[in-house]
A and B are shown apart, each in its own frame.
Chain A
Amino acid sequence: MNFRVIQALVMRYLYLYTRAPVRGIELVFWPMVNLLVWGYLTQYLQKNMAGDFPGQITYLIGAVILWDVLFRAQQGVAIFFLEDVWTRNLLNVFAAPVTTRDYLAATYTIGLLRALVTTTLLGVLSWVLYSFNVFSLHGYLLPFALNLLVFGWALGMISTALIVRWGPAAETLAWAVPFFIQPFAAVFFPMSELPAVFRAFSMALPCSYVFEGMREVLRSGSVSTRDLLLATGLNLVYLAAAGVLFVRVMRTARRKGLLTKFATQ
């Protein structure tokens, strides 16, 4: 690992925000809209439903916040690459003395920073507007967030690999990939609601256990260690597999001239 190189790559990205602070709007706007929609829906349901459920339904707000960790991490990784495509700077970066490892480390850092910004923002807003305290997840908040961060990185690498393989036409995957899995990730409803086929898919996703766990914490105050370990184990598998995919696609790209084609498309 060469930290100076990683720092330079991260700096290139941060400069974008100093040059055009308006870019920051994208970072705060969508998560805020999401929170407002789900937050007021939660309030409405709480007022108009009977029984125990209304009390628990605050998990929707928790889901919005935690989902954003995954989404921002994935985007950080995928958009880092696209930024160089858009500015036709790709070859300058890939012909610079940057190892794949350092390149990925820089994308992870951006994913982490993006996730930090939006979770902090959403955490504060949900407290102010809906008295939902993310710290009511207690000590589980950190392992949950870490798991989602890592899964976001893995999805980000997969998105970039697909974009490299299929060319600029596949650019929208940078935004779409997380939403392909969202219905199966048990974000807003438990796995048990899914039919068997989808449930199997859900069980193979590390994030499902996190969202199940989050609801469990809000209901009972604790989570089974087994679920947390499962999430972590699956995550390591996904991260490694995504890394292998990324390295392979980059090799194919160097063989087929995909990177040099990008530069001229």
Chain B
Amino acid sequence: MFAAFAMSDSVLLARDLTKRFGDFAAVNGVSFEIRPGEILGLLGANGAGKTTAINMMLGLLLPTSGTIEIFGRDLAKHRVEILRRMNFCSTYTNLPGNLYVWQVLTVFGRLYEVPDLKRRIDEVLGLLEIGHLKKRVTGHLSAGESTRLNLCKALLNRPELLLLDEPTASLDPDIADKVRKVVSRVREESGAAILYTSHNMRDVEEICDRVVFLHRGKVLFTGTPAEIVRHFEEDSLENVFIRVARSGDVEFTGETRKAGDE
């Protein structure tokens, strides 16, 4: 079934990934891949299992069963080497609020062994347009400023794989737009593969090449946003989302590919 996924073809390959908490399966037999240079949207209603899946990709959670291969290597066996080449940003974490912005970036830059760190810090701060906050205390930043600082941290080591869990959740429309542009730009300039979760379907339509739709821990379908909209005969991804979230058992086959079938 996975023969088509030659190891070198995908940056990340999740096979039959399952995570149970007690007898509840938060992620249930999920398979998907992230291809080089693509932005893959991971969609699904609240509680669908997106964050759980991301936590497994970061090695913060061990899968109950199934495997994750990143850069062609088994995450369970090569966690630290793999983590050095990737990064993440999540609405669920803060950076240490009791340090200055420059201190936070210095510490994480060193943890990721970023060369020429001082320059890189100015670069990422500039990219997110928060250079003026460098000498501020992290905990005093507004929600939107912290999100952008989180993104700076995530970009520091020029990751080849970037996991973004709701990066636009607390941003005003203007900054959200800028962040989407930064994400696109990072992909274009560095060729990074990016996993992106968001509840904002306009976000997703704008920047994701493909989406994986999770429902109650299972992959319902994968495909490009346009394919999916066409298939459901809706006029936007948002309407598809609402329809699917409310009746998650819809049968879905058709031109939109199921994970692992191509």
Indicate whether A89 sits within 8 Å of B94 (C-beta atoms), given known contacts A8-B107, A96-B112, A97-B83.
Answer: yes
* Chain B interface helix/strand/loop/mixed: mixed
Question: Nearest residue in A to B99 (C-beta to C-beta)?
Answer: A15
Count of chain B residues with a beta carbon within 8 Å of a chain A beta carbon = 35
The stretch that binds A, out of B59-67, B170-178, B192-200, B220-228, is B59-67
Q: Are B98 and A95 in contact (CB under 8 A)?
A: no
Q: Please report the total number of A residues contacting B with Cβ < 8 Å.
A: 35
A12, A95, A256: which contacts B96 (Cβ < 8 A)?
A12
Whether the pair A92, B95 counts as a contact (CB closer than 8 A) is yes
**Segment of A120-128, A196-204, A257-265 engaged in the interface with chain B:** A257-265
Using Cβ atoms and an 8 Å threshold, which residues of chain B touch A4? 110, 113
Q: From the candidates A8, A15, A89, A254, name the one contacting B59 in the complex (CB within 8 A).
A: A254
Q: Which residues of A contact B59 (CB under 8 A)?
A: 95, 254
Check: B81 CB closer than 8 A to any chain A CB. Answer: yes
- Chain A-chain B contacts (Cβ-Cβ < 8 Å), number: 98
Mask: chain B, 84-108; 1 = CB below 8 Å from A; 0 = not:
1000101011111111100100111
> Is B111 a contact partner of A98 (Cβ separation < 8 A)?
yes
Residue of A nearest to B102 (CB): A15
Pairwise interchain contact B112-A89, C-beta atoms closer than 8 A: no
Interface residues of A (CB under 8 A from B): 4-5, 7-9, 11-12, 15-16, 19-20, 83-84, 87-99, 251, 254-257, 259-260, 263-264
19 A-B residue pairs with Cβ-Cβ distance under 8 Å, sorted by A, are A5-B111, A12-B96, A12-B107, A15-B99, A19-B100, A19-B103, A84-B96, A87-B94, A87-B96, A87-B139, A88-B94, A89-B94, A91-B55, A91-B58, A95-B58, A95-B59, A254-B59, A254-B61, A260-B60
